[in-house]
Structure 1
Amino acid sequence: MKALLIWPIMPNSFWSYQETLDLAGLRATNPPLGLITVAAMLPSDWEIRLCDRNVSLETDADWQWCDLVIISAMIIQKQDFGELIQTGKKLGKKVAVGGPFPTSVPEFALAAGADYLILDEGECTIPMFLNALENREERGIFRATEKPDVTQTPIPRFDLLNLNAYYAITVQFSRGCPFQCEFCDIITLFGRKPRTKTPAQILAELEVLYQMGWHRYIFIVDDNFIGNKRNAKVFLKELIPWMKKRNYPFSFITEASLNLAEDDELLELMVEAGFVTVFMGIETPDIASLAGVNKEQNTRNSLIASCDKITKSGLQIMSGFILGFDGEKPGAGKRIQEFVEATSIPQAHLSLLQALPNTAMWTRLQKEGRLIDGLGKYFTSQKSLMNFVPTRPMSEIVNEFIETFWNLYEPLPYLKRTFHHFQKMQGWRPQYNRHYRTLTTAEWHFVIAICWRQGILRSTRFHFWWQLLIIGLSKPNLLYDYLITLGIGEHFFTLRQEVKAELEAELVVLKQQEQQNQENASLQLETVN
């Protein structure tokens, strides 16, 4: 079998870092870990080609070569995903699909023409799919009735990747999260009992990347790295000597819940192991809203104190924030902005609340008749309106969002937050292998571009240079990550303009629809009378 594995185009969004990637000579933020893991599960006698369309497009020769197309996608990739299925069918190819989007919304893939739906987790459903092929079955939907043991998951096919195209390479330690946040689909997809790989297993994956010459960021893409704290500590205690022996070749990024601040040992182990950044879903400083969506873990302690403790330990925080919770009071955007300034968090992932398919929130809103039909073009990105009727006027929430997102990514406040955030870091951090003598030509071009834009062209020039000097002198081991964070700001300075323009246009359409609905209602009333 000749299989073409395709990862669809990712629209420009918070996570795409497109402007920053362009400056760094890179093509994409992360590779498709799911697809290269699937590739490792396929028969060894298959011929496999991987196409990440965010790096380079597949060719006509690729389509002619393959017998089978396998496409994975997240919801945000919906448009390209659907078009790829249709292209495959027009060319007479068998098309198999999987990943979070078809697992959550299988009817979309079926309507587009997919032949095989390999849903849920591949360790369970790939064997079902292969068995169907062996039996010459023309179509099939394969679902799992249980969660797989990830200690049996093979090492992903990192060899299929063009490593030089990516900002960070992805690996996975665990699946699942113990919490029950109403709006989150992780527990729907992966369950509430976190399942972890063994330390030896994950170290073997890291060794492959090390031997391939990768010496930059690794994103451990667990939705909650500390979901199973005991196993996380066991892994970290074995990772630390492995990293020390190799002179800290990687810097780790991951996602974790805010209760990380409650565990001093875990914080110390993560920093000593080479973790530099952690994404945390803070959502809102409004405690009533947190309680309303079952995010109780964020209500036990002071949010600001928890963030400061994590930052002081040596970890940079990226944070998730949401506008549009039920019962939310006006000014929520301003309160989020004040919180971000108080904690000096550089990257604040601010979104309008979306009801994701099959979540507890989706089910509740469906029962209440508040869901809005259809998943829009930009669903799950900053450019999408809410897909349900909120408890206060949507136009009020969206305008508040536009203003807050714009203000958060004004260049000068962003530079100031980044500086203060790194200044807060007091904990020990390894002098990992990113000395200026080891920087690549592309990295030097990136640094020069940031100095030119923020240190000369913009009005930020005064703050840029004195802040850079202070960080360089007082915290030289943080200088590389500091410059990367400043560079990521370039993406947001551009993205906020796209977000503002798109949402304002959608608000105009929304207003027109509301007026049309009012006119139709008036006509119906007149007809009845």
Structure 2
Amino acid sequence: MKILLVTPPAVNDIGKVLFHTPPLGLLYLAAFLEKNGYPDIKVIDADAARIGWQALGDLFARENPDIIGITGVSRTLPAVFKTAEIAREKLPNSVIVVGGPGSAHEPEKVLKSAKGAINFIVKGEGELTFFELVRGIESGIKDFGNIAGLVFLNQDGNLVSAKPRDYIIDLDSLPWPAYHLLYPDLSQYHGMKADHKETPRPVATMFASRGCPHRCIFCSLQSKLWRGRNPKDVVAEMEFYKNKFGAKSIQLYDDEFLGLTPKQNEWIKEICDEIIKRKLGLKFLSQGRCSPYIDLETLKKMKEAGFVWIWWGVESGSQKVLDIIKKDIKIENVFRDFALAREAGIKSLAFIVVGFPGETAADIKLTGDLLRKLKPDLVKIHTLIPWPGTAVRKYFEEKNLLTPGFDYYKLDMRCPIAHRTEELTSREIMKYSKYLSFRFERGGYLGLIKLGLKSLLTADGWRKLFKRIRIFINYFFNWLEVSRSS
């Protein structure tokens, strides 16, 4: 049984969608299959390898796999569909399976896209589901409805959704991701933030835990149960990536690496103690949740172990908005935790989202005030997208606030055309998002000027410079409009 796992060229109708991390989900699938008797596997990251559509079709024809697995997130689903269409054209008898968070929430729409090329969708944690599917295909079974976590269309074209797959409780039972099967190799990856100079490449990604127990209304995360791995196994995996693949940094892909409970802090310190004991000399990036459970002792231990960045989901500077979206954090925790991270010597990135229900211009001003006082090392501004499967999507549908003709497959987080709210129009959401971006991202407007001048040092510098001048002018006049109205 020959299996090819693919990350498609990450483009959508908006343009290029850049990913700079290895396809961790596919690497877990490959490792699990290899461990359970399926050695003929390849993992191709067509995006990182800069494989175009024609070359991808040639690759499918050359490899001639029995099963093709394609992964994608919501905003890369157009690329997933095109990959499936090309695969079906080249290999009419191969089984095509799609997984990843983008495909799970509207499975019937996904299955009927790509000219019907997709045979199955894997929902939730995919290791066991995909393995059982591969085994079933190999043995020639006809009824796949008993494989938990699987979704497909039957011969009558009706949707069949098997029972949900249980969470994998013992994460230590899973083999480490199969980086040895990945093309291109790890040297091509520099992590999610290329401007994090403190995390030198190559950057490996891994999970120390899975799941988040919280209830944010805009989150499409399927795994709500937090499970942590054995600290010694976590660090052994880190050491393996350093010694085997030359990794210099590790990006922890955990949904919430810290900030959940005091017990989690003890788990973090065990990991850090093991890193220090082994003298790994690696740099680490993780995600955190602002909460009363963040403490200086844990952060200092993280710094000693090599943690240099924490990404925090701040979302808004308005407590009213945070309560509406059920973020379950307090503004005072945000200030406190950023101050503690700074005292420990760890840099912080603040994620902000504009366009929540109930959010007014005054609330967005509070967000700007918070960022001015907080002084995070980096700021990332997004506009809300009501992904299918989220509570906020249901809310907008019930209130008839979605943009007519809305197709979330064609959106990215810079395009706030998906909805309006009862307080703000779509244009106003865009306006305030640009305002915050111009003021706070990349060091604000001075940072944008520096970025434009830096463009002159690149091969296509003048083209990039003129493009950035146009963006700068657009954002400047938008900033001026908002400033005058405040």
The answer on whether the counterparts of 1:280 and 1:318 sit within 8 Å (CA) in structure 2 is: yes
Once structures 1 and 2 are overlaid, which stretch shifts more, 371-380 or 62-71? 371-380
1:151 to 162, 172, 175: 172
Q: How much does 1:287 deviate? A: 1.1
Instruction: Determine the C-alpha separation between the residues in 1 that align with 2:469 and 2:212.
Output: 30
The reply on whether 1:30 has 2:31 as its aligned counterpart is: no
1:226 aligns with 2:248: no
Once residues 62 and 82 of structure 1 are traced to their aligned partners in structure 2, the CA distance between those partners, rounded to angstroms, is 15
- Correspondence 1:185-334 to 2 at 5 A: 185-186=220-221, 189-191=222-224, 193-226=225-258, 229=261, 232-259=264-291, 262-299=294-331, 301=332, 303-334=334-365
Q: Contact 1:376–1:384 (CA<8 Å) still a contact in 2?
A: no
Tell me, yes or no, if the aligned pair for 1:7 and 1:32 is still in contact at 8 Å.
yes
Shift of residue 61 of structure 1? 3.8
Q: How far apart are residue 317 of structure 1 and its match?
A: 0.8
Task: Give the counterpart letter for 1:148 in structure 2.
Answer: I
Q: Kindly tell me: are residues 410 and 317 of structure 1, through their superposed partners in 2, closer, same or farther at Cα, counting changes over 3 Å?
A: closer
TM-score normalised by the chain length of structure 2: 0.77
Segments of structure 2 that go 5 or more residues without pairing to the other structure are 145-149, 152-161, 191-202, 458-463, 479-486
Confirm or deny: 8 A CA contact 2:303 2:344 kept in the other structure. yes
Q: CA shift at 1:333, angstroms? A: 4.4
Deviations 1:6-54 (A, max 9, x none): 11233499xx996xxxxxxxxx521110000010111433311211122
Aligned to 1:173: 208
How far does the alpha carbon of each residue in 1:43-82 deviate from its partner, in whole angstroms, 9 at most, with x for none?
4333112111222224614433222211011112111111
Cα deviation for residue 347 of structure 1 reads 2.3
Aligned to 1:401: 433
* Pick aligned residue for 2:402 from 371, 374, 377: 371
* 2:179 partner amino acid: F
With over 3 angstroms needed to count, the CA separation of the structure-2 counterparts of 1:233 and 1:107, relative to structure 1, is same
| Deviation per residue, 1:374-401 (Å, 9 max, x gap) | 4345424213423455532221221222
Give the helix-richer structure, 1 or 2.
1
Which stretch shifts more, 325-334 or 151-160? 325-334
Partner of 1:134: 138
Cα distance in 1 between the residues matched to 2:123 and 2:22: 20
Q: Partner residue of 1:348?
A: 379
C-alpha separation between the residues in 2 aligned to 1:498 and 1:102?
36
- Rate the CA distance shift 1:180–1:30 in 2: closer, same or farther, 3 A: same
In structure 2, distance between residues paired with 1:245 and 1:40: 28
Q: Distance in 2 between matches of 1:260 and 1:228?
A: 9
Secondary structure in 2 matching 1:107 = helix
Shift of 1:96: 0.9
| 2:28–2:127 CA contact under 8 A, matched in 1 | no
> Aligned in 2, Cα 1:388/1:51: closer, same or farther, shift over 3 Å?
farther
Kindly state the Cα deviation for residue 302 of structure 1 after the two structures are TM-superposed: 5.2
Moved more, 158-167 or 145-154: 145-154
**SS at 2:438's partner residue?**
helix
What's the TM-score once normalised by structure 1's chain length?
0.71
- Give 1:246 shift: 4.5
Q: Matched residues in 2 for 1:393 and 1:34: separation?
A: 37
Distance, in Å, in 1 between the alignment partners of 2:219 and 2:324 is 13
Distance 1:200 1:9, change over 3 A: same
Letter of the aligned partner of 2:223 in structure 1? F
| Corresponding residue SS for 1:46 | coil
The alignment partner of 2:268 has SS state of helix
Q: 1:336 to 1:414 in 2, by over 3 A?
A: farther
SS at match of 2:380: strand
Kept in 2, the 8 Å contact 1:236–1:273? The answer is no
**Higher mean C-alpha displacement, 51-60 vs 335-344:** 335-344
Could you tell me which residue of structure 2 aligns to residue 48 of structure 1? 41
In the alignment, the residues of structure 1 paired with residue 469 and residue 86 of structure 2 have an alpha-carbon distance, to the nearest angstrom, of 30
The alignment status of 1:110 with 2:111, answered yes or no, reads yes
Alpha-carbon displacement from aligned partner over 1:179-202 (angstroms, at most 9, x marks no partner): 21111122xx001x3111112332
Shift of 1:500: 6.4
Q: Is the 8 A contact 2:260 2:289 kept in 1?
A: no
Q: Which amino acid aligns with 1:497?
A: I
For the pair 1:391 / 2:426, whether they are aligned, the reply is: no
Measured in 1, the distance between the counterparts of 2:373 and 2:276 equals 35
Match of 2:101 in 1: 100
Deviation at 1:359, TM superposition (A): 1.6
2:156 is aligned to none
Mean alpha-carbon deviation: is it higher for 205-214 or for 280-289?
Answer: 205-214
**d(CA) in 2 for partners of 1:71 and 1:46?**
18
Per the alignment, residue 159 of structure 2 pairs with: none
Please give the alpha-carbon distance, in whole angstroms, between the structure 2 residues aligned to 1:131 and 1:224. 33
Alignment length, in residue pairs?
A: 422
What residue in structure 2 maps to residue 433 of structure 1?
none
Query: For 2:373 and 2:124, how far apart are their aligned partners in 1?
Result: 40
Partner SS state of residue 259, structure 1: coil
Change over 3 Å in CA distance of 1:202–1:67 after alignment to 2 = same
Seq. identity, %? 21
Is 2:462 aligned against 1:497?
no
Relative to structure 1, is the Cα distance of residues 498 and 261 closer, same or farther in structure 2, using a 3 angstrom cutoff? farther
* Pairing of 1:51-90 with structure 2 (within 5 A): 51-56=44-49, 57=51, 58=56, 60-65=58-63, 66-90=65-89
d(CA) in 2 for partners of 1:496, 1:217: 35
CA distance in 1, matches of 2:131, 2:382: 38
Q: List per-residue Cα deviations over 1:262-282 (Å, max 9, x = no partner).
A: 423322232222211111111
Counterpart residue number, 1:39: 30
